[in-house]
Chains A and B, each alone.
Chain A
Amino acid sequence: MTQEISSLMDGELGAQEAGIAVQACCASEERKETWYLYHVIGDAMRGQAPRRLAFPTQVIDSLKAQPTVLAPRRPLSTTLARVAFAAAASVATIGVVGWIGGQGGQGPAGPMVAKSDSNLQPVASTTTLPAAQPAPDLQQYLVAHRQIPSPEFYRQVDNRVPARAR
């Protein structure tokens, strides 16, 4: 069901599939929490946490229990899918930008997500973040450092910088 909730947020489901997923989601407190958790992660990715972070302890506990998803993604095609992309991508990259929680910035907050795949040893990612500070946007700096623009990033730049015709 977690996969369906993620797909629903990604806008990857058709109308019928989405209807079923919404019904199934609303029928269970646990699934509602998952839905809530994914949105909080999405908010954090966009630097909007902790606006909706009403239950930080549960969220952090859930994060600790979440494996990083390394499964290949289905291609996104609709505008809706792109809107939901940042939030959904966070589910796959919690280990990279898990900026929720922290103990006043004093030392690592401890392993938040343990990962494993066939090639890599399980290695914990650590994050520290002072309380009540929005998440720094790692992605922007990563893109600038590696000089490998993502199409999403490029669109944002494109809106601000007048492009010259060739």
Chain B
Amino acid sequence: MRVAAVASGRRLIPALALGVACAAQGAPGNDPLAWLQRAMQAARTATYSGTYVHSNGGRTSTVRITHANVGKEEQERIEPLDGMPYDIVRRNDDMFCYFPDAKTVRVDRRVTARFFPAIIEGTPEAVASSYEVKLGRAENVLEYNCQWIQLEPRDALRFPQALCSEVNSGLVLRAKTFNAQRQVIEQYTFTDFKMGSGAAVRPDVKSIFEARVKRWITDSQPRDEAKSVDTGWAVSDPPPGFRKLAELKRNLPGRPAPVSQLVFSDGVASLSVFVEPNSPPPRTADASSEDGTTAFYVRPMGETLVTVLGEVPLGTAERFARSVARRP
């Protein structure tokens, strides 16, 4: 019986594909950029909740997300369901990370943090300058009609991506990143998902741990670090399509002084360039690693150590690492 049901379902797919784009209320026809715009906007403005699985290379994590838009303020709670307990409450660009074991709230200003389904940072036009945006096939995901939006890079400096956009709301329920061999190297997928009134999101999104601790210690140091500064360093020849999003100084554990961080993005993929003293024993040769979408390239420059980490092919990370120079 089950086999027969699946077979008849398959026969429905061409009809579904044909009807999906036309039948949906508010769906933006055949314009891929309009679909992309709507998917990005829905991630910010819609009310939704659910659980998604994120696989990147050898890592897999499960996250519960609650998202609302209250009086034009974006409110979001991110609950990682693996490992030690903590959650993150975001209000627009203010992030509050609650660590119940340490009774501490870490207050940070969002610079690079992006949570599915809001994974696209740039405008559709910026994205379109580095990626060809196309409409793919229609698919039924979690019993929702969805339309795949494909981002095909215009060069080898970035990875191909595909977003599965729910037809009525535009929300992205699944996203994949591919390598040059078209193998999936990163995937986000909701395993349960509700939106609108069905999501039952209370209008004031709070940490699930907030009531558990009587007196929270607040650490605002990360927010202070997130302010823009002139680090004295620059990437003299950033690869095409990448623009600098932020320049800051971050404290990393075990470092006597803050580390300079320059953040770049092409609207989809982002990377950080870290510059710090090449402390003893100094490194003398380049080192690198690559896993899933994460490229890591370490380049000693005499007394200075340059480290590039981002969701880009290793060659792009190396190109950034070789372009770091003192600001003239």
A interface residues, Cβ below 8 angstroms from B:
68, 70, 72-73, 76, 92-99, 102, 104-105, 108, 113, 115, 117, 119-121, 123, 125-130, 133-134, 136, 138, 140-142, 144-158, 160-161, 163-166
Contacts and interface: CB of A to CB of B under 8 A. Distances in A.
B95 A123 contact: no
The 8 closest A-B pairs by CB, nearest first: A95-B58, A147-B113, A130-B285, A121-B183, A105-B285, A156-B253, A127-B289, A68-B58
A72 B221 CA distance: 33
A96 B58 contact: yes
Nearest to A106: B285
Residue in B58, B102, B221 whose Cβ sees the most chain A Cβ within 10 Å: B58
A97 B289 contact: yes
B57 A142 contact: no
Contacts of A154: 86, 97, 99, 102, 104, 106
Nearest to A122: B183
Nearest to A161: B221
A73 B283 CA distance: 35
Residue in A68, A117, A141 whose Cβ sees the most chain B Cβ within 10 Å: A141
B184 interface: yes
Interface in B113-169: 113
Contact of B288 (A104, A128, A147): A128
Contacts, number: 170
Interface of B: 55, 57-60, 82-86, 88, 95, 97, 99, 101-102, 104-106, 108, 110-113, 179, 183-185, 187, 189, 215-222, 250-254, 259, 261, 263, 270-272, 274, 281, 283-292, 294, 296, 298, 307, 309-310
Nearest to A130: B285
B220 A164 contact: yes
Contact of B99 (A70, A108, A129, A151): A151
Given A96-B291, A154-B99, A144 B216 contact: no
Residue in B82, B95, B287 whose Cβ sees the most chain A Cβ within 10 Å: B287
A144 B291 contact: no
A158 B104 contact: yes
A120 B54 CA distance: 11
A53 B222 CA distance: 37
Nearest to B179: A123
B291 A95 contact: yes
Contacts of A119: 55, 184, 187, 189
Given A96-B58, A140-B253, A145-B309, 7 more contacts: A94-B58, A117-B55, A141-B296, A144-B272, A157-B253, A163-B104, A164-B220
Contacts of B251: 157, 160-161
23 contacts: A70-B60, A92-B58, A96-B57, A120-B183, A120-B185, A121-B183, A125-B57, A125-B290, A130-B284, A136-B296, A138-B309, A141-B274, A141-B296, A144-B261, A144-B274, A145-B112, A147-B112, A151-B84, A155-B102, A164-B219, A165-B217, A165-B218, A166-B105
Contact of B185 (A123, A127, A152): A123
Contacts of B95: 147
Given A154-B97, A166-B218, A145 B272 contact: yes
Contact of A120 (B83, B97, B101, B187): B187
Nearest to B109: A147
Nearest to B305: A136
B99 A120 contact: no
Contacts of A97: 289
B313 to A, nearest CB: 12
Nearest to B189: A119
Nearest to B101: A151
Contact of A166 (B57, B59, B216, B252): B216
A144 to B, nearest CB: 5
A45 to B, nearest CB: 13
Contacts of B287: 99, 102, 105, 128-130, 133, 136
B249 to A, nearest CB: 11
A96 B219 contact: no
Residue in B85, B287, B289 whose Cβ sees the most chain A Cβ within 10 Å: B289
B102 A120 contact: no
A68 to B, nearest CB: 4
Contacts of A136: 283, 287, 296, 298, 307
A146 B187 contact: no
